[in-house]
Amino acid sequence: MTNTPETTPRGTAGRGTEEVVELDTGRVRGLVFDEHRLFQGIPYAAPPVGELRWRAPQPVEPWAGVRDATEPGSPCPQLPQPFAAMASGDEDCLSLNVTAPRAGGPKPVMVWLHGGGGTNGEGAVFNPRRLVVAEDVVVVTANYRLGIFGGFGYPGLPGGAFGIADQQAVLRWVQRNIAAFGGDPDNVTLFGESYGGLSVSAHLVAPGSAGLFHRAIVQSGFPLMRAPANTFVPGSPAMPSMWLSAAELEGLAEHLVAERGWVRAGAGSAVDQLRALPVDELLTLTSVFARPAFGNDVLPESPAEALRAGRFHRVPVLVGGTRDEARLFTGMFFDGVGQPVTEERYGALLAESFGDAADEIAREYPVGAHPSPSVAWSTVLDDAAWARSVWDLGHALAAHTPTYVYEFADRDAPAVVPFPEGFPPGAHHAAELPYQFDMGAPGPLSAEQWRLAATMNRCWAAFARDGEPGGPGLVDWPRFTADDPHVQSLRPERIGRVDFAAEHRLEFWAGR
Secondary structure letter of residue 387 according to DSSP:
I
| Contact status, residue 289 vs residue 147, Cβ threshold 8 Å | yes
Q: Which of 161, 114, 122 is nearest to 289 (CA)?
A: 161
Cα Rg, the chain, nearest whole Å:
22
Query: Which phi and psi angles does 249 have, rounded to 5°?
Result: -65, -45
pLDDT of res. 441: 61
pLDDT by residue (tens digit) across 100-117? 999 888 999 999 999 999
| Contact status, residue 384 vs residue 349, Cβ threshold 8 Å | no
**CB-facing half-sphere around the CA of 503: CA atoms within 13 A:** 19
Query: Which phi and psi angles does 204 have, rounded to 5°?
Result: -65, -25
Q: Could you tell me which residues come within 8 angstroms of residue 509 by beta carbon, excluding any fewer than 6 positions away?
A: 383, 384, 388
pLDDT of res. 442: 52
Q: Is 503 a catalytic residue?
A: no
Among residues 203, 313, 429, 504, the one annotated as catalytic is 429
Q: Which of 426, 422, 408, 232 is nearest to 329 (CA)?
A: 232
Secondary structure letter of residue 52 according to DSSP:
G
Kindly list the structural domains of the chain, giving each domain's residue range(s) and its CATH number in brackets, ordered by start: 17-60+69-245+289-509 (3.40.50.1820)
pLDDT by residue (tens digit) across 243-300? 999 999 999 999 999 999 999 999 999 999 999 999 999 999 999 999 999 999 999 9
Secondary structure (3-state) at 497: strand
- In three state form, how does the secondary structure of 274-336 look? HHCCCHHHHHCCHHHHCCCEECCCCCCCCHHHHHHCCCCCCCCEEEEEECECCHHHHHHHCHH
pLDDT of res. 1: 26
Among residues 325, 407, 432, 503, the one annotated as catalytic is 325
CA dihedral 220, 226, 232, 234 (to 10 degrees): -170
Q: Is 193 a catalytic residue?
A: no
Among residues 74, 88, 95, 194, the one annotated as catalytic is 194
pLDDT by residue (tens digit) across 201-213? 999 999 999 999 9
- 439, exposed or middle or buried, with CB in 10 Å at 0-12, 13-18, 19+? middle
**pTM of the predicted model as reported, rounded to 2 decimal places:** 0.96
Q: Is 429 a catalytic residue?
A: yes
Segments of the chain scoring below 70 in pLDDT: 1-14, 441-443
